[in-house]
Structure 1
Amino acid sequence: MPIIDAFNTGAVEIKQTWLPDLLINYKHKRVARFDRCTTCHLGIDKTQPGTADVPGFAHEQLISAAMQTPSEAPQATVAITLRQMDKDQDGLISREEATDDLRENFGQFDRSEDGSIDRDELTEGYIEQHYGLLLADRGMLADDDVTVAGVRPESPAAKAGLLAGDVLYRISDVEITDKQLAHRYLLDSVRWGEPISITLRRGLPHPYSTHPRLDLFVGSLSPHNINDFGCTICHDGQGSATSFKWSSHTPNTPFEEGEWKSEHDWFNNHFWEYPMKPSRFVESNCIKCHHEVTELEPSQKYREPPAPKVVRGFNLVREFGCFGCHEINGFDGPHRRVGPDLRAEPNYFAAAAQLLTVPGLNEQEKELAQRVIAHPEDGESRHRLAELIQADASAGEGDSSQRRFGEAAYKLAGMVGADTDTPGRYRKVGPSLRHVRSKVDFDFLYNWVQEPKDFRPATRMPQFFGLNDHLLSAHQPTARGEAEHETGSPDGGGETANNGNHKGLHEAERFEPVEIHGIVSYLLAKSQPFEYLGRPEGVIEAPSAERGEWLFETRGCLACHKHEKFPQAREDQGPDLSRLGSKLRTPDGQSWLYSWLRDPSRYHARTKMPNVFLEPIRETVKEGDNARQIVTDPAADIAAFLLASQGWEAKQPPRVDETAVDELAHQYLTGSGTTRVQATRYLKEGISSSLASELAGDEVELVVGEGEPITIEHKLLYVGRRAIAKYGCSGCHDIPGFEDAKPIGTGLADWGRKDLSQLAFEQISHYIEETEAGAEHDIYAAVKDMDPDKGYFIEQLLAHQREGFIWQKLRAPRSYDFKKTENKTYNERLRMPKFPITPEDIEAVATFVLGLVAEPPAARYIYEGDARQQAIVQGRQVIDMYNCAGCHTLDMETWEFD
């Protein structure tokens, strides 16, 4: 670099890595990267002698130790005694001033020309004598750092784990700022015979330390060596900068930000669009190249997890079914992969199931539909079924009376026969609701939709209703805050806000029960018949809950499910089955449970639950001296055990407010393009059946027969259908009538690069000020006293950064409507529900989503692996999907010894 070299005094050599194939997007052009990070980070790739991947200079960390003290105070060794002997206060003690025992040891220490000895030197001599600890004259990086120069083997210091180079950071919870303070707390303020607690700073801070994972990054033998990958492709930042403040480092906490501002003149450079990821999000960029994500889990070669947080975030997105609303399309066209791909599989099986309800199907068509339901990947059966039904449409052209089917059937056939170049791979995460009437009653379903965790505290289903904290006034108490309803803590912003929105709260209290009534009414009305399995012949024993409990434990149920009878069970692949008897209260519900246990796919073809072959068991039992043959039904026994668990009672649903039903239905109608006059007429008279063929939307629920009046049931079905579409219920559940529904949320494939101006922060700063600032009403001052993680995110939120936006969106999703609902209709409000996730889960999900940038590097950098590695990744995905590790040991236990 001739120009830069011309201004270089020679004190610093500019080091540069040129990466011509790793381009950076400057909007008008993509240009090669120049990373000059090693100008300062000189030791980033240094290894210990004789090793290829052991860091030469470990990064600084705090280590706690306990060092044993002598059983009694050594004579004349404590600092106060030495100070008393130092009559001239000059730090020197003469032979005459010394006590007898000191005089005996004078020869061990260097003396001045007049025969006196330095008091500090004498003190350190006794520290070395009694602790085996030798302190350096000054620190390596800061003169006042009290640094360990050496440790005598088998000494108390050695047994406590102290090493040369350690800095004494705290002794007995007192910060050590100089050697005199260390002397005092090692020799003076000591309870002799008891261990003293020491906190050590071990290693070197940036920029002096080595990368901690040389087996993975930077090292010459690593898969990401520095000459090929550089630094900024993983870390972001301004790689061409040659000073700290222009490199766009990002602090990890508010405290670190304060340090950087005072020590390095740090500032947030808004003009650089790719600031460095803070350490909490450093793993997010892994998915630029590792699109399957699964390959980032521990492997035979890399036992230590390469990127545990981003993998956890990926798994949470997968398990909670976020892709049901927020499609993550990892493809740009049929062949170009741009990132992780999380999309629901094509809805072939649901379309085929709905076709089975159409009158007029012949036996061949029914058989093909059943085959598509069981095997939607069978393209030949799909195409044949679609051809047969669409042929009927062609045969009836010009004469509709010749057709066997209506337009709905032809539309379903088109869905069954449709192909896509890059179909999604993930099943919907919720249970099928196609036959829900065969399972539960109205009261349970109402309570479940209203608040899922009331019945099942550990459910994954999110909360849609009752998230109204952002609408409450200061004088209105709340029992369940939006952000605290899952954690039980106001940490999530659950405190009541001032200046509440009375219109918004009034509408929520009126319309939410109507929506729940409508949803439940629709699901039960559209539920399709389900044929329960009969009991096998030859079973002579009545069902036994006692036998069922034993079978539940021994047949592998605990590999996926929790139950209150087995508190040691921890797996959560399936739901917690405690209190199931309170859910399945009807005879139909109990018959459903038996059928489900015998053959889960009979009820839901795409369920992940296996058929565990609960066939009748023949055995011989002894009764005194006699023995007899019995036949038991294990499915009936397990059902008896599960149904015996109760302890929950459904609350009585409120009566329907018919005026509120009309108002909400009117809003839905006018919002979809119907005039106000028409909407009023439809709700008063219904829609004539003669117009039914012209209706393409949800208004079909308002169609009435000639001369028939419209009823509240019609209106509830309409409201329910609109509410299901509004909240995206079909993103997780198979629901009749929603076979062609699309995801309702924002696509996330490139959210990590989404322009900040497109994020609707709205009045969130005011919401945070009112809920988090406390009595002083200064949120910026309050941040300093917060937990560092929470403080970091609130700072990012107030600064309108995407890290803060997603944190608050996951923590209290409706809070962005604060002071906005006064000018919104009820159906224009934010709809995202609150998921039952912890703060750690939120950060993991944010790590994954922030890595979705849809900017893959050149093809040679994208991880693909050889055939064996690809098979391992695909196999791991199948294992994760079906929870094979719940029953089978896939890895032997490992033990680590310090």
Structure 2
Amino acid sequence: MAEENKDPKEEEKNEDSPFNEGEFDERTSYSFLFFLLSGAMLFITLWAFWDDEYIRRGYKEFQDIYNETQYERTRVEYMEVTEKIQGRTEELREAIAREEQKLENDEEYQQLADAAWNAQVKLDDAKENLKFTKSRLDEYYYYYKKAQHEGQNYEVELNRVEETKKHIVESEPIVEQLAKERDAAEAKLLEFKARKKNLENELAKLTNDKIILSQRMDFYKPFNLFLRPTEIKQAVIPASAKNKFGEIVYKVDRCHTCHIAYDDPYYKDFENPLKTHPNREVLIKNHEPTETGCTWCHRGQGPATAPTEDAHGSHHEGDQTLGINEPLLHDNLMQSNCTNCHADVVSLDGAPILTKGKKLFLKLGCHGCHLVEGYADVRKVGPSLNRIAAKVDPSWLYRWVKKPKDYLPETRMPDFELSDEDALAISAYLLASSEKSYKLPEKFKSGDPAKGKELFESIGCQACHKLKGIGELFAPNLSNIGEKVSADWLVSWLSSPRDYNHKSTMPDMRLDVEQASNIASYLIQFGKPVKIPGIERRLKDPARVELGEKLVRNRGCFACHSIPGMEKEGRIAPELSAFGSKQVRELEFADTHIPHTWESWTYTKLKNPSAYRTDRILDKMPDFDLAEDEIDALMVLLRGLNGLFIPERYKKNYSKDELTIERGRRLIAQYNCRGCHVVEGYGGDIQEHLKASAQYPPPLETENYHVGNRVKGSWLYSFLKNPTPVRKWMDVRMPSFNLTDSQMRDLTAYFELVAPGEIKYEAGVHLKKDKEAIETGVKIVNYMECGKCHDDGAKGIEFKISSERLREEWIPKWLKDTREMIPWTPMPNHWPKEEGDYTIQGKFHKLNDVEKGNIDKQIQDVTDLLVSYDNPDIDLSLSLEAEEPFMDGFFDAGFGDEEPLDDEPMEGDDAGGEDSEFADDMDF
């Protein structure tokens, strides 16, 4: 019945769902879903923590390795120090304990200790009483002034003040006496404690390193189980740059957060980022990263620490914004940014590739076509074409313009890939624009080729020119010179280079017409003109001359050469002052299939300048046929031309003297002084081509020998202005260079500045010399027969020019250490060393009686003579009457390897010879 009485709707509801609408099933569990969600949340939390603490902070791993390594290094050192001092430390502690026990049992010591204590107590009491007395004086003085101000009777107060002052005056000597007694007591006490104190000091000294190492271990591992916490290390560089609004901004570099061991040589074999910075003596010592940061040199993103790609600068092709998204530099390009702070110098320590790039940039004359900051006023590198018609054969000129390397494979003249017609037109214009009024001043009549050959190979031509494989290549190779120029031009040029081109770097060898004709007759036989039929007629075509002018202007020939009518032409190529910061999107890759990077574009441009040339893009840059190493060097230079703003406070601010040295070095390079002379350790290339070492031009700047210390600046200046023969036995001659007064001053100052020590101005030193000393010097010189070599200048430099030429301070050094300064000079040490002391040779035994055998005084007497030599009052005939001639026994004195000096010119101020590898005198 119950089942029959059920509501059909309720029955229907129970069949579909056990709950009414809106009711919740509390019997269903969602715990597994909550568990999964909680687990996911926990995982995400842990992952976020791990990512934030470790994945995004990769420097922690490197710092942990560094701290662990430093701790282990310190621990090992600590153990070594502990083991080293262990025995001695125990001995000292025991000795100190014994001394303490001894002092405690010593009755006299205890009495002295009590006396010192009592003296200190008395002194303290006296000082305390004096202090209170001075306080009472202030009180009495107050009441005295108060009574006086109020008009009351102040006699009592005044008496108190006076009595107290008197008491203070009486007490101060007592305090001083007690202090002396205290000091005396303590001094006696210290005498007893001296041994103990000395032992304590020795112990402290021994254990000091151990304490420092212990503290260092605590620094790297403050807890036994944990290393020191890692940290962000950063350098903040104020006023490092300017934003687009010209406002000064700060710069933050955090590079040494990872590269933490950059300045520790111990890590030289570690992998980056813990590897020691290369060349740290130059690059780190002079550029402390905590002050200047790292990104000015390395690029990249200074504030970023992770991921590594961001810290080192991303490599997006479309965005490499300077200072923001700029990639880190690698390999040789690392040297490029040195230009930012060292633009004023060419040669730079620590940047050999950049130095090579700067030299090559100047050598090739890139500054002629491209404006570059700092190179705007540099001279043109090519010869003047103002009088080209008087110099070269027209057929040669055409072939030269068409393909320069066919004539000189090593020429710096680039290949413009000209067509035959364009080459002919350019040649026509150059000949037509040549100065019409110029006539060669000399005519070749005849000459002796044999004498010309002897002159060419002896006077110094091979220091600059190569001929048939012999000589240097500073100036043009002369192996086919007869194909290029006429004998008339050669004679005119050799006898007076300034007549043809007053700006030429070719020096005047001071040849007369006969000597010039002999050399011309020798050179003109190398090569013969190869005429092109009808070329002279074609070169005179007005239309062709007009086309040639357009081509010369278009190709920018005037960038390297002086051409009549084109003196004021501007540069034809883009400015390169900020080329290193160009974005990839700013570079035109044309139809090439190369990686779209700055490096790839620049390399291709230098390797094959026409690579980007199309029908619509006319690329004017010629082909310099650069070698791979030359391309690398120029890329380093170009990468550094980035227009980056570097505040003056962070740049290398070169002093006036440093800039003078730089100008001197550039002049030495410009005029090829190293072709003949050793300067700053290298040079003297001509020595390879000279037959006798006596003909070697003197070194100017070596480790132990400096022309700035040797000769007076006034003499050197006048010598540069007008070279006169100094070494009359030499065939190699110092030429006359086309130097301005300013350049001669710079060269003179350069040699003085690079010489060690202070260069003092010497004037009138001969006026202060004692006549007796000078006469003694005459006797010594005559006794040693120095005049055999020096009097007529046939074997040594004449004495008569020494007073105006030599610095007084240098002469004694040369006389005492002749062969130490120049080991190869045949001039002997007249006062040789034996066991470190200067001695008098047996053959000059009479010198033992001169100045009582005082060698320093003898040498000073000779010096006094030399600096006063041109004084007419000096009697040069005085003599000690030598028992033995100077030459007798000379070769028995330790110099027997040389040939007899009668056949050799003596070198230097005092001697010279055939076997000398270098002339010992440092003048030109």
User: Could you state the TM-score of these two structures normalised by the residue count of structure 2?
Assistant: 0.47
Which is helix-richer, 1 or 2?
2
Which is strand-richer, 1 or 2?
1
